[in-house]
Amino acid sequence: MTEKPTDRLTPVPEKHSKFWQNAHLYFDRVYTQMNLDPVWRAFLSAPKRVLTVSCPVRMDDGSIQVFTGYRAQHNNARGPFKGGIRYDMHVNRDEVMALAMLQTWKNALVDLPYGGAKGGIVCDPKKLSSGEKERLTRRYTAEIMPIIGPVQDIPAPDAGTDAQVMAWFLDTYSMMVGYQALGVVTGKPVSIGGSVGREEATGRGVMNVLRKFLATQNKQIAGTRVAIQGFGNVGYHTARLLHERGAIVVAISERASGVFDERGIDVLAAGAYYKENGSLADFNDADAISNDELLGCDCDVLIPAAMENTIDADIAPHVRARVVCEAANGPTTPAADEILRDNGVTVLPDILANAGGVTVSYFEWVQGLDNFFWDAKRVQDELQRVMEKSFDAVNGKADEADCDYRTAAYTIAISRVAEALRLKGLFP
Ligand code: NAD
């Protein structure tokens, strides 16, 4: 049978994960309302490039284990690709593609000269020894080397990775190119070219955005009752910075356990306890609380700071907070988003609320390229300026278009990316 030409041109529909579909739904909804050239919709719906790599690693017992890794580059119309690297058992191709897309919108919303990317390795970082994690990181870096670089694609930490992982990343890349390439990765330790304030930056940005939003309601952080899901880098620093400003952190949780105390949790003590025990179980006689109970607990502000899809249509009707501030990427499904909106809950969307991390990553990149390093005050002041300006833009757009904050944020971000595409035109 002869093949018709159209058969070769018709793409085979791929079955994608729920999270991928959710990310596309948020994008599609806004794009179609914006009266933009439909041509760019298809282009922006797919990543520019996704690399899948296989990483054989010698384990401590002498055996060899093969790990799968990814780097998805969504769009670079506004500048080099930029986005974190995640180590988690649930990492998959759809997840990194969806997160890379979110990163494009986030970087555009806070007006950084970057496109969006994301990477990850399917592994349980808690089960790897330090040596195994180092060998895995070095092999993964070498495998994705053809598509990364200080002016091409600049990774950073995400869930399951930290400054030490970025140090190995920097060293591997630098050894291979033959010079110290500070700009290849951000979130490095301060002693080897990292930026002061990067580690806490995502949490600080969450605090900045929440403070600005509360001010629009004539409220302040002091006395606000907050529940935070996820107590890693983002959850801990968000809790600490809000606690320092007088918020009452009534509930915190990690993957397997959580605690609730209506009088307020001692966040620093909880942080030390979690670091030592790897769990919050039995912390300070506070009441145990499950993750689902935390999401529905009695509080003013709910801050999901763990993983995607944790607030779904089953949980959303039980959310008692009046504000959901998305510190994690993609924590609220579109169905849950609608339920929250109908129930009068304000959602501060991820691409705004958690953009502090990539913003200070940008500062770190600039400092590394300049070889001129800033002090903590300058980093904090510049971060606050970017976050407050971005909040004002989203708040203004929401008022003008009479829409929710997520729609407003997407509208601003998509229009900036679409503008860059239009101005650059097609190659060749
Ligand atoms: P992390 O690995 O440091 O911490 C994750 C925390 O969430 C841990 O306490 C873990 O136990 C908990 N957790 C994991 N799965 C959970 C679940 N299903 N339910 C409840 N808790 C769960 O990660 P992180 O860097 O703090 O990142 C958290 C989120 O913030 C992710 O969505 C990440 O993409 C996003 N984010 C991180 C950064 C950054 O700079 N690290 C920047 C922007 C956004």
DSSP 228-286: EE--SHHHHHHHHHHHHTT-EEEEEE-SS-EEE-TT---HHHHHHHHHHHSS-TTGGGP
Cross-strand bridge partners of residue 119: 71, 85
Three-class SS state of 344: coil
Ligand 1 pocket test: which of 91, 158, 240 has the largest number of ligand atoms within 8 Å of its C-beta?
158
Question: How many Å apart are CA 5 and CA 10, to the nearest integer?
Answer: 9
Output the CA 99–ligand 1 centroid distance in Å. 13
What is the reported pLDDT for 7? 43
Cross-strand bridge partners of residue 229: 253, 304
Q: Which two tokens stand for residue 97?
A: 């593609």
Question: How many Å apart are CA 253 and CA 229, to the nearest integer?
Answer: 5
Output the CA 401–ligand 1 centroid distance in Å. 32
Nearest CA to ligand 1 atom 3: 232
Three-class SS state of 321: coil
CA angle (85, 87, 90) in 5-degree steps: 115
What's the DSSP call for residue 11? P
Given 3-state DSSP classes, what are the helix, strand and coil percentages for the chain, each rounded to the nearest 5? 50, 15, 35
291 lines ligand 1 (CB under 6 A): yes
Ligand 1 pocket test: which of 154, 307, 348, 354 has the largest number of ligand atoms within 8 Å of its C-beta?
307
Distances (CA, A) of 52 to 15, 97, 144, 148, 291: 18, 11, 9, 14, 33
The distance of Cα 340 from the centroid of its chain, to the nearest Å, equals 21
pLDDT digits (tens, 9 = 90+) for 354-407: 999 999 999 999 999 999 999 999 999 999 999 999 999 999 999 999 999 999
The sign of the CA dihedral 50, 54, 58, 62 is positive
Closest C-alpha to 199, from 240, 162, 241, 229 = 162
Distances (CA, A) of 102 to 23, 90, 246, 416: 7, 18, 32, 14
Closest C-alpha to 103, from 48, 38, 64 = 48
310 lines ligand 1 (CB under 6 A): yes
Q: What is the DSSP string of 66-99?
A: EEEEEEEEEE-TTSSEEEEEEEETT--HHHHHHH
Question: How many Å apart are CA 145 and CA 149, to the nearest integer?
Answer: 7
pLDDT digits (tens, 9 = 90+) for 149-166: 999 999 999 999 999 999
H/E stretch holding 185 reads: none
Exposure letters 345-383 (e unless 16+ CB within 10 A, then b): bbbbbbbbbbbbbbbbbbbbbebbeeeebbeeeebbebb
**Contact call for residues 82 and 103 (beta carbons, < 8 A):** yes
CA angle (290, 295, 301) in 5-degree steps: 135
What is the reported pLDDT for 11? 53
The sign of the CA dihedral 188, 190, 193, 197 is positive
Exposure letters 295-306 (e unless 16+ CB within 10 A, then b): bbbebbbbbbbb
Nearest CA to ligand 1 atom 4: 232
307 lines ligand 1 (CB under 6 A): yes
Specify the ligand 1 atom closest to the Cα of 350: 44
Question: How many Å apart are CA 294 and CA 290, to the nearest integer?
Answer: 6
160 lines ligand 1 (CB under 6 A): yes
Nearest CA to ligand 1 atom 22: 255
What is the reported pLDDT for 3? 45
Q: Give catalytic status of residue 118 as yes or no.
A: yes
Residues of the chain with pLDDT under 50: 1-9
Residues 6+ apart with CB under 8 A from 418: 34, 36, 37, 40, 44
Nearest CA to ligand 1 atom 39: 158
- Other CB atoms within a 10 A radius of the CB of residue 185 amount to 32
Specify the ligand 1 atom closest to the Cα of 235: 26
